[in-house]
């Protein structure tokens, strides 16, 4: 791997993460803010770092992420998918480990749209016989 930047896309629910990975010393920035600043909760920081932790690459790459849409959990999981895809592009040897942990699977579950004549997607208004 030379000094070129590898870029991939991760998606989850309504969140889209454009991930740029280059060799470095382990800095992760999201929308030009440090990871700890963007995701104050440690659980989401851990979710973003999972692909790096299982492949022992925590201090090997600098990662810049452009995040768009979705909520906090969807954004963290979108970033995880993008990072895992980038690591696969960098080194194909990492693929079996990432696949085994489920980091390469796009979680396709989306919010179902609201239907006309109903209060929610599937919920019906209360039935009244009289």
pLDDT of residue 4: 86
Is residue 21 included in any domain, yes or no? yes
pLDDT of residue 2: 54
- Max distance between CA atoms of the chain, in angstroms, equals 75
In which residue ranges of the chain is pLDDT below 70? 1-3
Average pLDDT score over the chain: 93
pLDDT of residue 3: 67
Is residue 115 included in any domain, yes or no? no
Residues 6+ away with beta carbon under 8 Å from 39: 30, 45, 48, 72, 76
Which two three-digit tokens encode residue 64? 């810049």
Global pTM?
A: 0.89
pLDDT of residue 97: 93
Residues 6+ away with beta carbon under 8 Å from 98: 51, 54, 55, 84, 87, 88, 104
pLDDT of residue 130: 86
22 is in which domain, residue-wise?
6-100
The number of domains in the chain is 1
pLDDT of residue 27: 93
Is residue 116 included in any domain, yes or no? no
Is residue 17 included in any domain, yes or no? yes
Residues 6+ away with beta carbon under 8 Å from 125: 118, 119
- What distance in Å separates the CA atoms of residue 88 and residue 18, rounded to the nearest whole number? 15
pLDDT of residue 111: 95
Which two three-digit tokens encode residue 39? 């995701």
The CATH number for 62's domain is 3.30.230.10
């Amino acid at each position: 791997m030379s000094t070129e930047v590898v870029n991939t896309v991760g998606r989850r629910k309504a969140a889209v993460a454009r991930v740029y990975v280059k060799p470095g010393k382990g800095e992760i920035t999201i929308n030009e803010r440090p990871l700890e600043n963007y995701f104050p909760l440690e659980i989401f920081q851990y979710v973003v770092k999972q692909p790096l932790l299982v492949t022992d690459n925590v201090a090997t790459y600098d990662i810049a992420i452009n995040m768009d849409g979705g909520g906090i959990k969807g954004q963290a999981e979108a970033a995880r998918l993008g990072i895992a895809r980038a690591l696969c592009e960098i080194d194909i040897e990492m693929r079996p480990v990432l696949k085994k942990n489920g980091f390469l699977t796009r979680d396709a579950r989306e919010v179902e749209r609201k239907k006309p004549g109903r209060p929610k997607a599937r919920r019906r208004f209360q039935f009244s016989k009289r």
